[in-house]
Structure 1
Amino acid sequence: MKNKLFLMMAVLLMGSLATHAQLKRFSLGPYVEAGFPVGDFGDINKTGFGVGLNADIKLIAGFGVTGSVGYMRFGGQTVGNTDFPAVAAVPVRVGLKYQLVSILYVKLEGGAANFVGDLDGSAFLLAPGIGIRVLGLDVQAKYENWFRNSGLGFFGLKAGFNF
């Protein structure tokens, strides 16, 4: 699974470099993120960490389209005599982005979190956020929820660099 994810990211990066000269309004780059689980999810899982690849396409009047694919893992905890497993997923997100002022934006993403490891299946995800982008550096704060039997919600901080 890790080899397939690495291969997919490498292909996307090479494709981006080839088209970057043609599409000035397109950017692509890596990101890292941290997720702080809340509610019942926070009671049984530790802080999560992830990596991935993000793409942005600028449209008109401050609007844009964004998308990302990555890997995110929340460690499990022991509560009482019960061991809860880690939660790992490959989230695939697409969304809309609106630039409020020159460096400040809001965005709303949706997609699927495809579980790997101890859990199987997938969950619908929804992630509103706010961020700043200065040159290529992009920093975002968000709340993301993976809707499965019960919601797996977390506050996240995401930092990336777009080329």
Structure 2
Amino acid sequence: MKSTFKISALVLAFAGLAYGAKAQTSTPASSAKTTTSNGIIWSVGVDAGLPTGNLSNAYNWNLGGSLQADIPVVQNQLFVTVNAGYNNIFGKNNIDGTGLDATNIQLLPVKAGLKYFPISHLYVQGEAGAAFALNKSDLGFDNSAAFIYAPQVGYQFPIGGKSFIDAGVRFEGSTKFNSTIDDSKVNFVALRLAYAFGTK
């Protein structure tokens, strides 16, 4: 529980810094055009992916959703992101002919990070935070949460006004959910397809 508290505190502190950075936003030197605005950009997305590494031995795919806020630091170029969502990782039935079924992994990820536009519409993003196991006891985890990190690349497709479709591909990795089992890391490659809109 101590590690869970520390991770949660770090995520909340990062979110606080994000809002502090928003308050100190300055006018950018660059005039590169994107579909972004001066205000916070909200996006609601569907997340789908495929497990990687040892996780793929017992799990097929994952599906979930997320809500993200992009807070401008340098207009049209650099944003602080805060993201929360839900992921269900679907277990395989009759794993390797053993007759055993893998229990689905239900996670609540909370992340914060940075999103940078090197050119108009194209971005790179990096986030870190914590994933909370909602069915810890069913899975035999001895940790309620694990540290997660998620590098991502994506593109914004304008659809009119201040709205656009945000499509990103990321790798999401974690530390161990069970301190004695190396295979308790939850790693996957995912696509996030989101509807996004500016507030100003």
TM-score range for the pair, normalised by the shorter chain length:
0.7 to 0.9
- Cα RMSD of the aligned pairs, angstroms, is 1.6
Any residues of structure 2 matched to 1:24-103 within 5 Å, and which?
Answer: 24-60=38-74, 62-77=77-92, 78-79=94-95, 80-81=97-98, 82-103=100-121
> Residue 55 of structure 2: SS of its match in structure 1?
helix
| Alpha-carbon distance between aligned partners in 1 of 2:88 and 2:69, rounded to the nearest angstrom | 21
Shift in Å, 1:30: 0.9
Give the partner amino acid of 1:133: Q
| Alpha-carbon distance between aligned partners in 1 of 2:51 and 2:173, rounded to the nearest angstrom | 10
Give the partner amino acid of 2:191: L
Structure 1: 5+ residue stretches without partners = 1-22
CA distance 1:134–1:58, shift in 2 (3 Å):
farther
Instruction: Give the equivalent residue in structure 1 for 2:134.
Output: 116
**Which fold has the larger relative contact order, with Cα–Cα distance below 8 Å and residues 6 or more apart in sequence?**
2
Shift in Å, 1:88: 0.8
| Alpha-carbon distance between aligned partners in 2 of 1:59 and 1:97, rounded to the nearest angstrom | 10
> Residue 152 of structure 1: SS of its match in structure 2?
coil
Spell out structure 1 runs of 4+ moving beyond 6 A.
Answer: none
- TM-score normalised per structure 2: 0.66
Residues matched between the structures, number: 141
Shift in Å, 1:60: 1.2
Any residues of structure 2 matched to 1:7-26 within 5 Å, and which?
Answer: 24-26=38-40
Q: Point out the structure with the larger strand share.
A: 1
Picking from 142, 154, 159, the partner of 2:188 is 154
- TM-score normalised per structure 1: 0.81
| Alpha-carbon distance between aligned partners in 2 of 1:27 and 1:146, rounded to the nearest angstrom | 27
Instruction: Give the equivalent residue in structure 1 for 2:34.
Output: none
> Residue 53 of structure 1: SS of its match in structure 2?
strand
> Residue 57 of structure 2: SS of its match in structure 1?
helix
Structure 2: 5+ residue stretches without partners = 1-36, 159-163
| Alpha-carbon distance between aligned partners in 1 of 2:118 and 2:74, rounded to the nearest angstrom | 13
Larger Rg: 2
Shift in Å, 1:28: 1.0
